[in-house]
Structures are given as structure tokens and as C-alpha cells.
Chain A
């Protein structure tokens, strides 16, 4: 039935995380409703807005890193391209920052 979607484990894990995040946000919202507030982002945001902006930023950070990895290896004369986990860690930190302070 779902063979045509050619699932791989990492992608499945990724989407499970997204789904869990949405469920978590919903539960959180029911427990304590969010308030619109203004942080360092240029617009006033709710928790959901911040999650969206954070995820989008995280995606861009990872993409930029992947794009620049080759150049980075050249500049720093590394043996091989730096691991994607570095940018993943950075992007998660940014996501957390935006969620807390955005």
C-alpha cells in the first residue's frame, strides 16, 4: 500500500518527530493557552508561530551548511567535509532560542 512512498528510516523518524511536536504543542496549548508576545523577532508571535519560524530557520541553517560544507572543508583544510550533525546541533539551538526568546 505504502510501498510507492519508498520509505526510509531517517525520513520516517523525521516525520514522527514533526507529528509528535504538533501533538505536544496541542497538548501544551490545552494545558496553558499561549499569549501573543513580542520578543526579538520583528513581529508579535504566539508559541505556534515561533515553532514555525524556528523550524523554517533550522531548515535554512542546515541547507546553508550543506551547501557550504565543501567550501568550509577547503578553507579549513579539513580531511573530509564536516558532519551534518554540527549544523543540526546549531539549528536545534537556534530553534530553542527562538522558542524561548522570539
Chain B
């Protein structure tokens, strides 16, 4: 009986992985082909293996600067999000104060607003402030959905830590900052990791705001990729190579946080 269940589970898992990885495999496969091969013949593996597509991306500044721009604003966004979310999440998980539940829900409503709604006001706001086409503009715009999420996740983690720990520390004469950084933060390390992962994820993949708020200097990779449609038709091979490269930073990040996820979290009082 146990044996059968184990086999069934493994089969299900393998089936899902097949479904999940085939589209990615196909893109990676295409990135090593030439355009002629893609359009002329249907091959499961590249017949004329080529790295030319990757060479294009790494030598052309308009391509690789896209990656650098994206990484810069994602990093800024991650740092700001976590920095402001930590104290707020602590307040929500430890104290009740006037309007706490409503402020919490209000924060969540910002996560619900479609970015398209904010597109034009953001454009006007950042033009007025002279922030258009800078990394900080995109990072600030992405705060709208990342800060609420970070607060939400961190609050869940913090609620899992018993309040007695805080009280003991205060009795032992710890000041709030000292307690927070030396005792509390290490305890919710995995929460910070998971929150940072989600911030990275949602900021890295967002297109609409990132594209609207930038033009040249801070142009992210996601909008660079939209220009591969040229007069001679789609440049499928370079597009596939660029797409493959956008997966890599994400894969690195997930590799770093895998322990925190595998360790488990339940979000909130259980």
C-alpha cells in the first residue's frame, strides 16, 4: 500500500515536472540554434550548435545593460521594501493600536490595484520630480505591490515567535534596537529570506511599470526584449537566448532561499 502510494506520487511529480520543464527546454533549445534552422526544420536538438545568439547579447551594450538595469532597480526595491516592512510587521504582530486591522487591510488593497491603474499618475509624478528614466523611479513604483507583501509575509513569521522572548529581553535590559537586531532578526532570518525572494520575484518579472517609467538610461531587459521584432521578421534565436538569460538570476536566488522554504513556515499563529 505504502509502496503503491509512493509510486503514484513520484509519477505525478514527474508528470508535472515534464509539463513544467518542456516549454523551458524548448526555449533553451532554440537559443542554441540559428534562425534558419528554427524556421526551416523541426529538430529536438540543435543540429548546428551555435553560441552566436549569446555572443550578440554579451557584446551589444543595449542588450546587456538591460540586465544590469533590471538588477539595479530590483536590488534597490528589495532593500527598501524589507527595511520599511520589518518594523511595521513587528508592530502588527506584537501590538494592537488604533486602526491596526484597517491599516493592514489597506496595505493589502495596494497589492490588489492593477499596475495599469497607476501608470499615468506615476508617469506624471516622476516627470514632475525629474525621476523619469532612473532606476530609483522603477524601484519606488514597485514598492506599491512589494511593501504590502513583505509586511504580510514578515508579520506571519513574526507571529510564530512567542512574545515571551521579547519580554525576557526587555527585562534583561535590552533596548529595542539592540533586541531587534541581535535577538529578533536572527530568529526570523528565514522570514526575511522568503520575503526578499518574493520581492525579487515580483519586481524582476514586472513589465508594464518598468517599461513606462524608463526610456534609455534605465531600460530594463524585459522591455529591451520587445524590440526583437525587426523588418526581417522575428529574431527568434536571440529572443530565446535573452529569455534563457532572464531565468538565470531567478534560479540563483531560489537556490539561496531553498533552505528557508524547505525548513517550513506556516504563516501566523498555529
Contact = CB atoms under 8 A, between A and B. Distances in A.
Contacts of B259: none
Contacts of B102: 48-49, 52
B44 interface: no
A77 B63 CA distance: 63
Contact of A48 (B99, B121, B125): B99
B128 A4 contact: yes
B124 to A, nearest CB: 4
Interface in B127-152: 127-128
Contacts of B101: 46, 48-49
A86 interface: no
B117 interface: no
A6 B101 CA distance: 32
Q: How large is the interface on B (under 10, 10 to 19, 20 to 34, 35 or more residues)?
A: 10 to 19
Contact of A26 (B99, B121, B124, B127): B99
Interface string A46-64: 1011001000000000000
B-side interface mostly: helix
A29 B128 contact: no
Nearest to A25: B99
A76 interface: no
Nearest to B105: A52
A4 B121 CA distance: 8
A-side interface mostly: helix
B17 interface: no
Interface string A33-57: 0000000000000101100100000
Question: Which of B98, B125, B127, B128 has the most A CB atoms < 10 Å from its CB?
Answer: B98
A49 B101 CA distance: 9
Interface string B109-135: 000000000000100110110000000
Contacts of A49: 101-102
Interface in A17-38: 26, 29-30
A12 interface: no
A13 interface: no
A1 B128 contact: yes
Nearest to A34: B98
Interface of A: 1, 3-5, 26, 29-30, 46, 48-49, 52
21 contacts: A1-B128, A3-B128, A4-B124, A4-B125, A4-B127, A4-B128, A5-B121, A5-B124, A26-B98, A26-B99, A29-B98, A29-B99, A30-B98, A46-B101, A48-B99, A48-B101, A48-B102, A49-B101, A49-B102, A52-B102, A52-B105
